[in-house]
Copies of this chain bind each other. A is one copy, B any other.
């Protein structure tokens, strides 16, 4: 274990014991370094780790302060498809489906009339859309809106970050067109159920709507 590792642990302990909340400012580098009897260099490296994790932030002269860490910001930095194994990619692919099926209860708890109108609006554009790319764009917008309606910002951001992966994996899939698909469930049907149906109905039909993706899972 290196010096910096020890410093990191000590700092972490220190932050917890002091009961810092986001916004609180912390002692300056030299003070921390002296207090722990280490060089400013080593202390800075430990601090850099915390900065990278989003636990602290520093401004040129104002010193450093505790911040609310943001997982998904980091996730963005590391979710480079070329660096992920195929298995992890597949996992995230499935996770998207899991979330999409799982948020249904939240939708029924939190839906508002405005939300329904918004979906209606998207569907209308979708039905009028000519080009394939435009349809795809509106398809994504529909599902993104569902995440919004869930009212869970964390999940919403999560989905935004997972999107590129889903996109990336889509290239390998042969997606049947609506015409080829006997019992295709359209967005309009989903909206009707969200308006007048139950969560159970919605889940069943969402599953059918996503059936082509589920078929990929073995």
Encode contact with B along A42-70: 1 for CB under 8 Å, 0 otherwise: 00110011001111000000000010110
Within 8 Å of chain B (Cβ to Cβ): is A112?
A: no
Measured in the bound complex, the distance between the Cα atoms of B22 and A190 in whole Å is 42
B78 touches A94 (CB 8 A): no
For A115, what are the chain B residues with a Cβ–Cβ distance below 8 Å?
Answer: none
The listed residue (B48, B53, B98) touching A155 by CB distance below 8 A is B98
Quick check: B102 and A97 within 8 Å, CB to CB?
A: yes
Q: How many copies of this chain sit in the oligomeric assembly?
A: 2
B102→A155 contact, CB < 8 A? no
What number of A residues sit within 8 Å (CB to CB) of B? 58
Residues of A participating in the B interface, judged by any CB pair closer than 8 Å: 15-16, 19-22, 44-45, 48-49, 52-55, 66, 68-69, 71, 74-75, 77-80, 82-85, 87-88, 91-92, 94-95, 97-106, 109, 152-155, 158, 199-200, 203-204, 207, 214, 217-218
